[in-house]
Amino acid sequence: MVRHNLEYPKDVHNTVNRYKHQAVYSLTTIHTIINTTPVLHVSFHPSPTDPFPVILPLIGQMGSFSRPSASISEPLDLYLHGYVSSRLMNVSRSSSSPGLPVCIAASKVDGLVLTLTPNSHNYNYRSAVLFGHATLVTDLDEKLWAMELITNSVVPDRWRHTRIPPNAGEMQSTQILKVKIDSGSAKVREGVPNDEMCDLGDQKVLDTVWTGVLPLSEQFGEPVPGPYNIVKKVPEHVTEYKEMMNKMNWEYAEAAARKDAPVKRKDDGDEE
């Protein structure tokens, strides 16, 4: 049981330098953003001679194979799902210890913040960045565990409602990448618009410009049966997840739109 709100230590990579009052280093917040974002963006250098970094959209999930009961608030690894011969997997395969350096980013937009001037427009959002080293998962038990973890992150309990276990061809073509996390940070913006005092004191501007927040949330539509589906009733694990996430996402976005605007502290010392 975690008794304290653990945080990633600040270092040269993860320290937030702009809008420090919106920075979060809590493992709970960072891991939750990662685990509830459908697509993660993974950055890496493909080779020392290539001048361009590569960014790939992948699906992944944080967890602990050695401690399966570990909570979201504890130190965890990130497992990424990919094709066995993809460039990321090949580069990871040839990387020396402690693994391929990678950066993982996740972002969620919760509202459009419409203000008096173009310059002060904003988003209500949650974003997280992780830094770590990636290695291929070669242990069969850990690979199967990670595949189940990632599948159930798409829809909870989906793994056992499918044809399992994966066959030999599926196991051979699928590669799981395990990222040992070195550091991470998040930035979160919630709240109503905030404008400069010079504009708030201009009655003409106040009389003509609408300000407010347009809440935005990820919403699932009604399930659409596939062309060869013969199961008449949509499974409860699908419908319950749809209803739960739609409700939770909307309630968060609407609540965020009504909170006080974030206040910049005098001692933040934001870099320009």
| 121-149 as b/e: b if 16+ CB within 10 A | ebbbbbbbbbbbbbbbbeeeebbbbbbbb
Give the SS3 label for residue 71. Answer: coil
Residue 10 lies in a domain: no
On the question of pLDDT at 36 being above 70, the answer is yes
The larger pLDDT score, comparing residue 2 to residue 40, is at 40
Residue 229 lies in a domain: yes
Long-range contact set of residues 137-146: C-beta below 8 Å, sequence gap at least 24: 137/79, 137/175, 137/176, 137/177, 137/178, 142/65, 142/176, 142/178, 143/171, 143/174, 143/176, 145/65, 145/68, 146/61, 146/63, 146/65, 146/79, 146/81, 146/176, 146/178
Residue 266 lies in a domain: no
pLDDT digits (tens, 9 = 90+) for 82-139: 999 999 999 999 999 999 999 999 999 999 999 999 999 999 999 999 999 999 999 9
On the question of pLDDT at 1 being above 60, the answer is no
pLDDT more than 90, % of the chain: 94
pLDDT digits (tens, 9 = 90+) for 188-215: 999 999 999 999 999 999 999 999 999 9
pLDDT digits (tens, 9 = 90+) for 216-231: 999 999 999 999 999 9
Q: Total domain count for the chain?
A: 1
Residue 15 lies in a domain: no
**Number of residues that make up the chain:** 272
Residue 83 lies in a domain: yes
Residue 65 lies in a domain: yes
Residue 217 lies in a domain: yes
The domain that contains 83 carries what CATH number? 2.30.110.10
Residue 6 lies in a domain: no
Domain that holds residue 25: 20-258
How much is the average pLDDT of 21-29?
97
